[in-house]
Every structure is written in C-alpha cells, then in structure tokens.
Chain A
C-alpha cells in the first residue's frame, strides 16, 4: 500500500498539470505578498489552478499586461486612459486590496507624535528643519521635542507608494503641488533616498531624527514608530486597518473603478490610503483561462480579504467588493 502512495501522488500531480491552468501575473510590489499568499491558499482549494505572480513594479506590470506577456497585471497606479485605450484585449480594473502609507519616525523616547497637515507638508518641502519647530510642537503640547535636525527619508526608486504619498501632499499643500507635484518618483527638495520599502526602513532605523514614508505592513513587521496624521476633518488619526477602511468607504467609485481616496472627509478616516488594482483583459482567447482567472480573483475578493489584515493590508469595504465583482463578471 505504502509503495503505491508516492506514484499515485506523482500521477495526480502530473494529471493536474496536464488538465490544470497556469495563470501568470506581474506587477506592483506592494500587494505581492498578499497575491502570492492567495495563490498558495487557492491552489490548496483548487489544485488544478496554479497562479504565478511576479513582483516587478507597477510600471513594468502594466507594460507586461499591455504586451500580453502575462494573463493579468497589477498596479498601484491603476492604468492611465491612454494605457486603457492601448490595451489590445481591452482592460478591466479590479480593485483587489488596499493599504495605508504611514509616516515612520525615529525619535528616541517619543512614541505618539502627531503631525498636522502643515507640518507634514513642511517637512517634505524641506522647510521644517528642526524637530522643535513650532509647526510640529503646536500639535504635540507637553512633548519634549528635541532640537534635532529633521532628516527626510524618501524612496529613491520609482514606486506606487511615492505616487500615492505625493498625491496626498499635493492635495493638502498647493505649494507642494506647484513645486514638486506627484509621480512615481519626484525630486524632493531635502533628505536622502533609500531603495525600496526596506531601504527607507533602514534609513529610519539607523539615524535618530529621521522620518520617512513606508507601507503600513512594512512598518508593522519592522516595529517602526508611526505618527498620527491630521485628516481633512482636523482629527489626528492613528493608522490602523479600521481607520484605513473608513477612508476607503468614503469614496464614490467611478465607472472604471479608478479612484484614490486622496484626502478623505470622513472624521475617523486615516488620510493616506490607496487601492491597488488587478488588471484583466476584457476578452481572453481561451475561455477556460478566463474562467480560471475570474475564479481566482473572485476568491481573492471574498475569502482572500480575510488574509489581508494579518499581512498588513486593509480589507475592501463591502460596497467596493460588490462593484469589483460586477467588473469581474464583465470579463469574457
């Protein structure tokens, strides 16, 4: 009996490889841990479907998707109207998960820093150069803020994280919008650049007085101290899955599902959050492949959402999930 088990397993795997579906995806690095986890969990449920996701960056993901090199793409910056128009097989944007971008700082002995909108913009404009600047002290009465220089850490590589963060700064500060603007990589007037979330994390950890922006999950994993940020309603909000979800719930999704909660108005919303999208073609040549893709993404939108909190993402609000499912059903 024992002798039969191994060949049987091998045979079963062999058969599933023959009848199974290999789905390939590429794109954003930010949701990669979650998508890869979905792939593993879904494969346990449906052994015939294997999903291979490569985190190559949003820009490369969109390019690969347009070239038809992969079955699905993934992007934090969605797709521009030109890119959607260029898609040979059409494009459907499905919001798949979401995340907060947090301000991690290193000030020994200080753990509950609050940053007003003016302070946040001032720091990244290079105008606030000392931690005991009145703009920072104002929101933190009674806190012993040191006379240290403020050191800004930013992402040196192009990234969706920078895109979302600078979009928020441009929304809250006309001066930032005019001088710097938003993009996947911008020229910050002060500070040092680290490569990737891990690079910024290292910069923050290594030098007291440093503040930088990283994804929430990264700050969690690395035990970084994060600031509460003032939102549009004037409340200082600690980044949590709940405050992030409040921000996402506040937006009205447009027809193409492409929107950023740039500066949410809800009183309890954390102000810097973003959706991230899975890019699917409108029509696939192979109906079986289309079905497998839809099943996989549908799993991610339903059961998969429960995995997001433990990995540091924000679960999508109900309303968004139903809209995403509707978009998914338009894929053929």
Chain B
C-alpha cells in the first residue's frame, strides 16, 4: 500500500474514522453527565414529599424519630462536618510532609517509589477492612485515652465522658488514614510540577534547600495542595461503611469528641434497608444534601486545580 494509495483510494474512509471516533467520545462523555443528572433527578423525585412537608426545617431539626415522622438532620450534618474536619486536621500535616519528602531527592529514587507505592496502597484497602481495623485497634485506644482525658479535663465539653470508644474521634482518626493517600498523591503531583527553573533560581540566589522548599516551591504549588485537601474533604464526607462501624450512630447532638454521633452517609447506610413511607423520602432528602455537598466540594477542588494549572502555565 503506497502513500498515494492511502491518500487516494481510502481518502473517504480515513476521513470518516475520526468523525466516528469523535462521535463515540462525545456520546460517552455526554452519557456520564446524563447519568449524573439522572441520579440527581431520581433522588430529587423520591425526596419531593419530604421536601414539601419538611422544607428547610429539615436542616435545623435536631430529632430523628421515624416512628413519629419527625425528621431533623442537624446532628448528622454536624457529624459529617466534624468527622471530616478531624480527619483533615490529622491527615494534612503528615500528608503534606510525605508529599514534600517524596518530591525531593532526599532518598534514592527506587526507595522513594517504594514509599509512594505503599502510601497509595492505603487507598486500595476496602473501607470494611478499615472499619474492622478501627473496631479492634482504634476503639480500645480511644476508650482508654478518652477515659483518661475526660477524667482530667474537669468537665470541659469537648472532652466530656464517658468514652466508650465509638465516637466522633474514632471515626475521624480512621478517616484521616483513609484520606491520607489523596492528600499525598495530589500534593506530590503539584510539587513535582513546579518548574525546575524556579528551584535553580532560588539556589542561584543562595537559598538553602529548606528555604527553597518553604519559600519557593510550596507557595508555587499551594493551590494544588489546597485542591488535594478539598478533594480529601469530599472523600471524608462521603465515606459510609467504616464510619457506620465506628461512629456509634447516635441521632443526638453532643459537643464531646468522645460522644457517639452520626453522619449523613452512615444514616443512609443504617436506615435505608428497613425504611418505609415518609422515612424513605426523608432519607432521600438527606441523600440529596449529601450529594449536593460532596459535588460542591469536589467542584471547588477541581476549580482550584484548574486555577493552579493556569497560573503556573506562564512559568513553564
């Protein structure tokens, strides 16, 4: 087959293939968007009766009593926020430290690759396993530590006992482990993407390695690190199984870290199977909130990432 042959005989075919391929890709991406909207629509439809009946009072109501048809989701909103916050506070410092460590040449490359692989492996562990591990390892620790702290804190509400182990803190600790790989992987990508020119410039001006990292590289990669944190937040908010196993599933508001609580995701996991009538609708309303929140958070993270890419594009 000569070049002339391709250009001549198969001209039409060669032209049509890219068109077909473009059509296929377009259909696939539209299908994904379509499915997302479809899910949203379906949840919205199911939630409609509860939306009508409960309105915005649903967000501020603090009691969840299916047999009285009283539905207020405030304790679960607070629980969702609090566990995710604890997880980020615990996971961010080590996550970022590991990312810096892996993006610099402190160690030979094979060793770095090995560590990176292990950290990313954390993301591959199923959440049920995290939950079981939490039950057998974290709960006893939180029990003894919590009892010790609450006895000595003189009734400070944040550390009020009794500490039974299934608590906000327990769920937060396990979530921290679960979101660590997200923070590390995306932060590392952002750090590695910082142009060499900047680093060399800093060295040329006489900066030490740490001055370079803290004064030049981190600020440049900051939006990427922020994006990593936001995506981790989304991951922490949506986690279901491990949280349902560890948080103590209580629909009561409490200021204490050692008190049982609940999250939107754990509420859904617990009650959906046996729900009937208005309860189904109220759960769907809660699901709508959860989807909206996680979408917002992920969208925010994505925006920040885009912004980073644009900002550093000039330097590259």
User: Looking at the complex, which one of A180, A184, A210 makes contact with B164 (CB distance below 8 Å)?
Assistant: A210
User: Looking at the complex, which one of B63, B140, B244 makes contact with A187 (CB distance below 8 Å)?
Assistant: B63
- A25 shortest CB reach to chain B, Å: 17
Quick one: closest B residue to A156, CB to CB?
B249
Restricting to B59-98, which residues have a CB under 8 Å from any CB of A?
Answer: 63-68
Would A58 and B143 be within 8 Å (CB), given that A187-B65, A202-B135 are in contact?
no
CA distance A182 to B65 in the complex (A): 10
Residues A195 and B271 in contact, CB atoms below 8 Å apart: no
CA distance A189 to B65 in the complex (A): 11
CA distance A210 to B274 in the complex (A): 26
- A91 shortest CB reach to chain B, Å: 16
Quick one: closest B residue to A154, CB to CB?
B249
B119-148 toward A: CB 8 Å interface, digit per residue (1/0)? 000000000000000010001100100000
CA distance A205 to B260 in the complex (A): 17
Indicate if A194 sits at the interface (CB-CB under 8 A). Answer: yes
Indicate if A191 sits at the interface (CB-CB under 8 A). Answer: yes
- A132 shortest CB reach to chain B, Å: 15
Residues B273 and A59 in contact, CB atoms below 8 Å apart: yes
Residues on A with C-beta less than 8 A from B45 are none
Quick one: closest B residue to A184, CB to CB?
B274
CA distance A7 to B166 in the complex (A): 56
- A78 shortest CB reach to chain B, Å: 14
Residues A195 and B139 in contact, CB atoms below 8 Å apart: no
Indicate if B162 sits at the interface (CB-CB under 8 A). Answer: yes
Residues B249 and A195 in contact, CB atoms below 8 Å apart: yes
Indicate if B312 sits at the interface (CB-CB under 8 A). Answer: no
A172-186 toward B: CB 8 Å interface, digit per residue (1/0)? 000000001111111
Would A158 and B165 be within 8 Å (CB), given that A187-B63, A187-B64, A187-B251 are in contact?
no
Residues A206 and B66 in contact, CB atoms below 8 Å apart: no
Indicate if A305 sits at the interface (CB-CB under 8 A). Answer: no
Would A194 and B66 be within 8 Å (CB), given that A59-B274, A151-B162, A157-B273 are in contact?
no
Would A192 and B67 be within 8 Å (CB), given that A57-B274, A156-B270, A199-B245 are in contact?
no
Residues B164 and A151 in contact, CB atoms below 8 Å apart: yes
- A205 shortest CB reach to chain B, Å: 10
Range of interface residues on chain A? 20 to 34
User: Looking at the complex, which one of B249, B251, B274 makes contact with A194 (CB distance below 8 Å)?
Assistant: B249
Residues on B with C-beta less than 8 A from A158 are 66, 270-271, 273-275
- A76 shortest CB reach to chain B, Å: 10
CA distance A191 to B167 in the complex (A): 11
Residues on A with C-beta less than 8 A from B181 are none
Restricting to A153-168, which residues have a CB under 8 Å from any CB of B?
Answer: 156-159
Quick one: closest A residue to B261, CB to CB?
A192
Residues B275 and A192 in contact, CB atoms below 8 Å apart: no
Residues A193 and B274 in contact, CB atoms below 8 Å apart: no
CA distance A193 to B244 in the complex (A): 9
A22-59 toward B: CB 8 Å interface, digit per residue (1/0)? 00000000000000000000000000000000001111
Indicate if A60 sits at the interface (CB-CB under 8 A). Answer: yes
B234-251 toward A: CB 8 Å interface, digit per residue (1/0)? 000000000011001111
B246-278 toward A: CB 8 Å interface, digit per residue (1/0)? 001111100000001010001001110111100
In this complex, which of A56, A183, A184, A192 has the most chain B Cβ atoms within 10 angstroms of its Cβ? Answer: A192
Residues on B with C-beta less than 8 A from A194 are 166, 249
Residues A186 and B66 in contact, CB atoms below 8 Å apart: yes
Quick one: closest A residue to B143, CB to CB?
A207
A200-219 toward B: CB 8 Å interface, digit per residue (1/0)? 00110011001000000000
Residues A149 and B276 in contact, CB atoms below 8 Å apart: no
Residues A181 and B67 in contact, CB atoms below 8 Å apart: yes
- A242 shortest CB reach to chain B, Å: 31
- B88 shortest CB reach to chain A, Å: 24
User: Looking at the complex, which one of B249, B270, B271, B276 makes contact with A192 (CB distance below 8 Å)?
Assistant: B249
CA distance A206 to B245 in the complex (A): 14
CA distance A331 to B271 in the complex (A): 33
CA distance A214 to B244 in the complex (A): 18
Residues B276 and A207 in contact, CB atoms below 8 Å apart: no
Would A156 and B273 be within 8 Å (CB), given that A187-B65, A187-B251, A193-B250 are in contact?
no
Residues B66 and A193 in contact, CB atoms below 8 Å apart: no
Residues on A with C-beta less than 8 A from B271 are 157-158, 185
Residues B270 and A193 in contact, CB atoms below 8 Å apart: yes
Quick one: closest A residue to B266, CB to CB?
A156
What are the nearest 6 A-B pairs in CB distance?
A158-B274, A193-B249, A183-B67, A156-B249, A192-B248, A59-B274
15 chain-A/chain-B pairs, Cβ below 8 angstroms: A59-B275, A149-B162, A156-B266, A157-B270, A158-B271, A158-B274, A182-B67, A185-B67, A187-B65, A192-B164, A193-B249, A193-B260, A193-B262, A195-B269, A207-B143
Measured CB to CB, the residues of A under 8 A from B are: 56-60, 149, 151, 156-159, 180-187, 189, 191-195, 199, 202-203, 206-207, 210
Measured CB to CB, the residues of B under 8 A from A are: 63-68, 135, 139-140, 143, 161-162, 164-166, 244-245, 248-252, 260, 262, 266, 269-271, 273-276
Known A59-B276, A192-B248; 18 more pairs at CB < 8 Å = A59-B274, A60-B273, A157-B271, A157-B273, A157-B274, A158-B274, A185-B66, A185-B274, A186-B65, A187-B64, A193-B248, A193-B270, A194-B249, A203-B164, A206-B135, A206-B143, A206-B165, A210-B164
